[in-house]
Amino acid sequence: MSRGGIAGRTRVKTAKGRKVGSTRWLERQLNDPYVKKAKAEGYRSRAAYKLLELDERFGFLKGARRVVDLGIAPGGWAQVVRKVCPKAHVVGIDLLPVDPIEGVTITQMDFMADEAPAWLIEALQGPADIVLSDMAANTVGHPQTDHLRTMGLVEAGMDFACQVLRPGGHFVAKVLAGGADNDLVAALKRNFTNVKHAKPPASRKDSSEWYVIASGFKGRADEAAPDEDEN
């Protein structure tokens, strides 16, 4: 590793056996202020600041008691929820293993597995205030295919959110360039009073990711509204 360039930017020498792409990724990580900040403040990933910035703009975390975190690994979003809402019960799921987080119930499982929704609902123990989704499908290098695969996860996340959210609840999900497609936007607008797109400052400029923030869940027409007597 060497230091050089402008303003003390850290540069990484290409080691034997290390691909150029890996060297560029490592160099970007070492020079990313959000990576440094996350390390200093105890967050597991720089993604924590994306959620913090989205919440600063849209204010959906305050007062949350039950939160679902779809695609929880490595746990940065769950850490933010617990910091902003210390009494919140968070339930998370991911294909990857996640180290324990106080106040968070975690399972290693594919969200698309048949048994996943039932597990999440049982662990949640009541209607959710927020469903968060930072899920993205593994890329195959074909932009259209990658987009469709990730949007399929977003649609599944929205369907699940409509099963578990209390009236007035929120759904926040990662989408790709162009945001949610027309059919998904229409479905979100049928179920939520406000639907917005945003790209938080912590999201890298060269990333195709955006976020959709759907607020004010209208409730399920086929059943009575959940009891909200709890304080």
What is the chain's pLDDT, residue by residue, as a tens digit (231 residues)?
333 443 455 554 555 555 545 555 455 555 678 999 999 999 999 999 999 999 999 999 999 999 999 999 999 999 999 999 999 999 999 999 999 999 999 999 999 999 999 999 999 999 999 999 999 877 667 667 777 787 899 999 999 999 999 999 999 999 887 556 788 899 999 999 999 999 999 998 888 889 999 999 999 876 544 454 444
What pLDDT, on a 0 to 100 scale, did the predictor assign at position 206?
83
d(CA 185, CA 181): 6
Residue-level pLDDT at 31 = 64
Instruction: Decide if 87 is catalytic.
Output: no
pLDDT of residue 208: 83
For residue 24, the model assigns a pLDDT of 54
Please give the torsion angle defined by the CA atoms of residues 180, 177, 74 and 46, in that order, rounded to the nearest 10 degrees: -120
Which of the residues 19, 50, 174, 205 is marked catalytic? 174
Structural domains in the chain, sorted by start? 11-41 (no CATH), 45-217 (3.40.50.150)
Contact partners, residue 16, CB within 8 Å, separation at least 6: none
3-state secondary structure of 124: helix
β-strand pairing of 192-198 with 128-133: unpaired
What confidence score (pLDDT) does residue 38 get? 93
The pLDDT assigned to 181 comes to 76
Amino acid at 114: D
Predicted confidence at residue 140, as pLDDT, reads 67
Exposure of 184 in the CB half-sphere (CA atoms within 13 A): 25
The pTM (predicted TM-score) of the whole model is 0.82
Q: What is the pLDDT of residue 136?
A: 82
